[in-house]
Each structure stands twice: as C-alpha cells, then as structure tokens.
Amino acid sequence: MSPAEELATCQAALAGALGEAPTVGGAAPDPAGAAAPAGDAWLEVPAARWREACRAARDLPELGFDFLRSLAGVDRPEAGRIDVVAHLFSYRHRRALVLRTSLERAAPELDSVAQVWPAADWHERELWDLLGVRLRGHPDLRRLLLPEDWPGHPLRKDWQEPAEYRGIPTRREARATAGELAKQTYLAPRGLGRDPAGGQPDGGGGA
Amino acid sequence: MGFDLGMVLGFLVVSGVALLALLLLGKLLRPHRPEASKRVTYECGEPAVGPAWFNFNNRFYVIALVFVVFDVEVALVVPVAVVFREAVAAGAGLLAFTEMFLFLAVLLVALVYVWARGDLTWVRALTAGECREVEVGPRSPAP
Amino acid sequence: MSAAGDRPIIEAGPEGGFALGPLDGLLNLARKHSLWYLLFGTACCAIELMQTGGPRADADRFGFLFRPTPRQADVLILAGTITYRMASRIRRLHEQMAEPRYVIAMGSCANTGGLFQGSYSVVKGGDLIVPVDVYIPGCPPRPEALLEGLMLLQQKVEREPYLRKIRGELPLPADPWPAGKECKE
C-alpha cells in the first residue's frame, strides 16, 4: 500500500467510526502512489471527538494503532490555537499515522487518552507542564519536568522568564561584577611550567 | 597461663587507650560548627519521607532459616570429607560413607518438603482459589 | 614563626622517612592526600568523573576516594547540568556534609550553565547555589583536566590556615543562596 492509500484507508475508517471524515492536512501525499513517504500528512479531528478518534484508531481492526509514539503540542499564537499532535504506529499493519487536533489558546482543554494508551500519561503531563493544556480525566495531572511552583508554561511563545526563582537569579550577568571577577585567581599546578598568579588569598568557597 | 591472661589484659587496655586517643585527636583536629541542617536524615538529597524502620518481607526470614540449616549441614560434612581417605585406609570407609549418606538423606527430605511447599520460590504464584476480583484503580487502562 | 601553608620538608630514606614542618603544614599535608568526594553527578560530566575514578586516570592514587554518603565526603563535585528542581537537592547535600568541605564545579554547566544558557530550567552555574572553590572548564573536561582541578584543590587545601579553621576564627564563605535554607522540597 502506498502512503497515500494508507492515509485514505485510515481516513475512511475513522470517518466510519466518528461519523464525519477527518480532514487531511500537511503535505498532501503523492496521488501517483510513489513509494516515498508522504511526509508530514496528518488527519485532523475536532477536539470534542479526540478520545473517540483515538479509541477508534486503537481498536478498529483495519487501523490497529496500538502504539503511541509521541503526544506533543504546538503553540500557534498567531492563529490563537494550540495544536495537539499524536504520532501513532500499528504493529499489525506496519504503518504510522499522525492525528492532530486544535484547541482554543485562551483555555486549552482536551480529553485525556491515558486510558487508551498508558504512554500518554506522561506525555499529557508534559503538555500541561510546558503548554498549559488541561487534560480532562487524567489520573494524575501535575507538572512533570519543572518544579511544582514554577510560574507559567515555558513552551508558550509569550512566556516571560522571571528574574529569579526562589532566590536563585535566572541570569548570570547579575553576579559578574568587576570585583568578583578580580577575586577569582587561576593557579597552575606546580611543576607544570606555568607561572602561578601570585600568592593572593582566595575568593569564594573554602569552608 | 597467668602470663597469657596478662597479655590479654594488656591488649585490652592498649586498644582501649588507642581508641580513646584517636577519638580525642579527632575532636581536637576538626572544626566544630553544629547546625540543624547537618543532622537531617540523608535521602540522596531529597527531603526524607517516612520512617527509617519498615517491615521486611518475611520471605527473607524463610530463606535465612533454610540457609542456616543447610550451612550447618555443609559444616558437618566437610570434616568427614577431609578425613575420608584415612577412614578408608583404616577400613571404616563404608561406615563413614553410610553415616554421611543417612545424614544427607534426612536433610534431603527436609529440602524436598521446603521445595514442595513453595518456600523456595521468591515470587509465589497464586492458585486460582487464592485469587479474588479486586477493583482496578484509576491508573489502569480501561479495556 | 613560619606562616601557615609552608610546605613541610619530607625526607624519604631507605629505612623510612619523616616530614618536618609547622603543624598547619603537616595537617594539611595529611588532609590534601585524603580528600574523599561524594558520588554525585547529573549529566555527561558524571561519566567523565567515573572515568577519572577508573583505572586509567586513577584519582584514587591521589587519595580521592568516592563515598556514597555526604557524611563521609569532603568534596562535592558538581558534575553535570543543574536544574532548578535539582538545586534544592544539591543544597541539601552540601549542608549534610561535615566541615571542612569543598565544592568543585566541573564542566561548563556547573560553572555557568554551559550550553544551556537559553534554557528556562537550568541554573546558570553551581555557584548560585553553593560556594564553589575550584572551577574546571570543559564540556566535559577530560579526566586529565579533572585531575588538574583536583590538584588545584589540593593546593588550596595546602595553603589553608587549618589551625585557625579548627578554632573557628575563619569566616564562613558567603552563602550565594540564603533562601536555600528554607527549601522544603
């Protein structure tokens, strides 16, 4: 099966399951059916049918996408949307599929598919942590990578870095004053032929 | 005899004095900066959670008991094995062999019992009668 | 009165040897050849740290032994990238070490945040969290470079007025993160 035909099969199967055909987006696959992969073609489903579509993708025998490769998000502030992209793979049919949905950027909410693929658990926690997408029905929605009291969602394009976090400055320039730099001396180990930089008392450290 | 005991006493005294001297030397030669944060329980840098004492799985107890029994068995067989050649030369080889065989046979029965009872399997398999339906928690995927 | 840090005279003869020097010098001589480091590493520099403890670039011949617990460690080698989440753990480990204790920042990430300057989750240098004694540049520094850094630490230990330190007359290094004391997590 060529990639174009595979995409069409998946589209038809999902259309049967959801009642409405998902739209094809991205680079259109070559209609001539060349062996080259279709590239970034995806099937887009409405956000309200996300969990149904994922469940159908996993359960329908002609789809059989039992492996979630990744679940990620894309922030598109110019369109006011946040997209969620799921890369699926079917071991039975040896083919991949990209499912995509689009959310309102002001209050992004989506049904969790952790019950469909257990791998989605942590991928969705990362969506929440870095993009602020709230997953409904997630068993344990909390930050994955960043500390719990971190302000904001850093992968959003309008996120501002705070000046400090719990007292640690986030920029190093604040520390590099002239006096401090002068105190740091470089010493060479004796006997290696380099001149030691004088016997000055040390700056920082040395408890 | 008295000299030997005197040596023991001298040894104890010297070792005690040496210990105290080393501890005293350490106390004199280190900085003293006590802080509450230094006495916090070490848990690889994480804040310590839970008590340090917990219930051990009683599999360890069973395995330890079985080990002790068979370790003693080995300890009792080894001397016989060491002098077995002399026993054969003295004509008592068959007697020694039979005695050891009976000894090992008794302990073999014990091993078979422990084995058949399932005490040697680390993770015991549950039979159908021992299982019951439990409610699946929220983290399990729905079928 | 010779100044603290004068190197002791060490004579080694066929029937043994002796060392002669001021008490500070002798104590520092003993201490610098027995600096035990905490087994700690977060990223690639930790691999190089392991190799430095390995047979080829043997750190143990200098007396650097790794210890799994901060109670028995003298040196904390910050080997690897430090994230904000890791910062409180490093702080706690440093506080759990008994004095005299030293910190070595190994590699670019521990020196200044390294190549992750633009990252939101990386602390821009270990010296924003704990007071650092020696900085070793490199990404990662080769085992030879780490050994050079350890030797620099040995020189620093050698020059210390240790008796004054025992008596508590030396000021503590400036705490770069005073709020770290209250970190509960």
pLDDT digits (tens, 9 = 90+) for A41-77: 889 999 999 999 999 999 999 899 999 999 999 999 9
Q: Give the model confidence (pLDDT) of B63-121 as tens digits.
A: 899 999 999 999 999 999 999 999 999 988 999 999 999 999 999 999 999 999 888 88
Interface membership of A113 toward B (CB under 8 Å): no
Nearest by CB to C95, which of B28, B30, B37?
B37
Q: How confident is the model at residue C13 (pLDDT cuts 50, 70, 90)?
A: confident
Q: How confident is the model at residue A199 (pLDDT cuts 50, 70, 90)?
A: very low
Domains contained in chain A, CATH given: 3-150 (3.30.460.80)
**Which residue would you say has higher pLDDT here, A145 or A27?**
A145
The answer to whether the Cβ–Cβ distance between B141 and A140 falls below 8 Å is: no
The answer to whether the Cβ–Cβ distance between C121 and A189 falls below 8 Å is: no
Predicted local distance difference test score (pLDDT) of residue A113: 94
Q: How far is CA C38 from CA C56, C94, C103, in A?
A: 20, 10, 10
Q: Smallest CA–CA separation between C120 and chain B, in Å?
A: 22
Chains with 3 or more CB pairs closer than 8 angstroms to A?
Answer: B, C
- Whether residue A86 is predicted with pLDDT greater than 90 in this model: the reply is yes
The answer to whether the Cβ–Cβ distance between A172 and C113 falls below 8 Å is: yes
Nearest by CB to A205, which of C103, C151, C179?
C103
Return the top range by mean pLDDT from A188-192, B17-21, C86-90: B17-21
Q: Which residues from chain C sit within 8 angstroms of residue A187, using beta carbons? A: 152, 155-156
Predicted local distance difference test score (pLDDT) of residue C95: 93
CA angle B109, B110, B112 (to 5 degrees): 65
Please give the share of chain C, as a percent, with pLDDT higher than 90.
Answer: 69
Query: What 8-state DSSP symbol labels residue A38?
Result: -
- The encoded tokens of residue C123 equal 């602390």
Please give the share of chain B, as a percent, with pLDDT higher than 90.
Answer: 50
Predicted local distance difference test score (pLDDT) of residue B1: 57
Closest-CA residue of chain C to A172: C124
Across residues A184-196, what is the average pLDDT?
49
**Which residue would you say has higher pLDDT here, B91 or C3?**
B91
Q: Give the model confidence (pLDDT) of C81-138 as tens digits.
A: 999 999 999 999 999 999 899 999 999 999 999 999 889 999 999 999 999 999 999 9
Domain chopping of chain C, boundaries: 23-165
A56-93 burial string, b = 16+ CB within 10 Å, else e? Answer: bbbeeeebbbeebbebbbebeeeeebbbbbbbbebeeb
Which is nearest to C43 in space by CA: C140, C148, C118, C111?
A: C140
- The helix/strand/coil state of C13 is strand
Please give the share of chain A, as a percent, with pLDDT higher than 70.
Answer: 76
**Cis bond upstream, residue C140 (ω within 30):** yes
User: Under a CB-based contact definition with an 8 Å cutoff, are residues A141 and A134 in contact?
Assistant: yes
Q: What is the mean pLDDT of chain A?
A: 81
Query: Is residue B92 within a helix (H) or strand (E), and if so which, with residue range?
Result: none
**Token match 């007396």: residue?**
C63
The answer to whether the Cβ–Cβ distance between A116 and B141 falls below 8 Å is: yes
Q: Would strands C75-79 and C9-13 be described as parallel, antiparallel, or unpaired?
A: unpaired
Q: How far apart are CA A9 and CA A14, in angstroms?
A: 9
**Which residue would you say has higher pLDDT here, B49 or B64?**
B64
The answer to whether the Cβ–Cβ distance between C133 and A184 falls below 8 Å is: no
Classify domain C23-165 by CATH number: 3.40.50.12280
Q: What is the ipTM of this complex?
A: 0.78
Q: What is the mean pLDDT of chain B?
A: 86
- Average the pLDDT over each of B33-37, B64-68, C74-78 and give the range with the smallest value: B33-37
Across residues A20-38, what is the average pLDDT?
63
Name every residue whose Cβ is closer than 8 Å to that of residue A172 and which is 6 or more positions away in sequence. Answer: C112, C113, C124, C125, C128
The answer to whether the Cβ–Cβ distance between B141 and A117 falls below 8 Å is: yes
Interface membership of C135 toward A (CB under 8 Å): yes
Q: Which residues from chain A sit within 8 angstroms of residue C87, using beta carbons? A: 166, 168
Tell me the Cα Rg of chain C.
Answer: 17
Predicted local distance difference test score (pLDDT) of residue C83: 94
Work out the end-to-end distance of chain C between its first and last CA atoms, rounded to an integer number of angstroms: 49
